[in-house]
Amino acid sequence: MTPSLQQAARLPPPAGPGDRVGVAALSGPVDPERLERGLAALRGLGFEPVLADNAASREGLFAGGDAARLAAFHRLAADADLPAILFTRGGHGLLRVLPGIDWELLRRRPRAYVGYSDLTPFLLAVVRRLGLVAFHGPLVGGELARGLTGGERESLLGALGGRYPVELPLTGWLRDGVAAGPLLGGCLSLLTATLGTPWFPELSGALLFLEDVNEPPYRLDRMLTHLALSGSLDCIGGMIIGHLDAGDAVDATDATDIGGMGGTGDIGRHPESPAAGRPGRAGVELIADNLRGFAWPLAWGLESGHRAPNLTLPLGMAARLDAGRSGGPGLAGGPGGPGLAGGPGGPGGGRLALG
List active site positions: 117, 211, 306
Structural element, H or E, at residue 107? helix 103-108
Q: Are 347 and 173 in contact (CB under 8 A)?
A: no
CA dihedral angle for residue 179, residue 180, residue 183, residue 184, rounded to 10 degrees: -60
DSSP-derived 3-state class of residue 263:
coil
Rounded-to-integer distance, Cα 102 and Cα 84, Å: 17
- Cα dihedral across residues 42, 245, 314, 258: positive or negative: negative
Angle between helices 217-229 and 281-290 (to 10 degrees): 20
Summary count for the chain: helices (H), strands (E):
10, 16
Report the first-to-last Cα separation within the chain, whole angstroms. 23
Q: Cα Rg for the chain, rounded, in angstroms?
A: 19
Using alpha carbons, select from 185, 279, 177 the residue that is nearest to residue 232: 185
Between CA 175 and CA 274 the distance in angstroms is 24
**Residues 208, 233 contacting (CB under 8 angstroms):** yes
Among the listed residues 77, 72, 14, the one whose alpha carbon sits nearest the alpha carbon of residue 47: 14
In order, the DSSP letters of 292-337 are TT--S-EEE----SSSS----EEETSEEEEEESTT---EEES-TTS
Q: Is residue 75 within a helix (H) or strand (E), and if so which, with residue range?
A: helix 66-77
CB 27 within 8 A of CB 89: yes
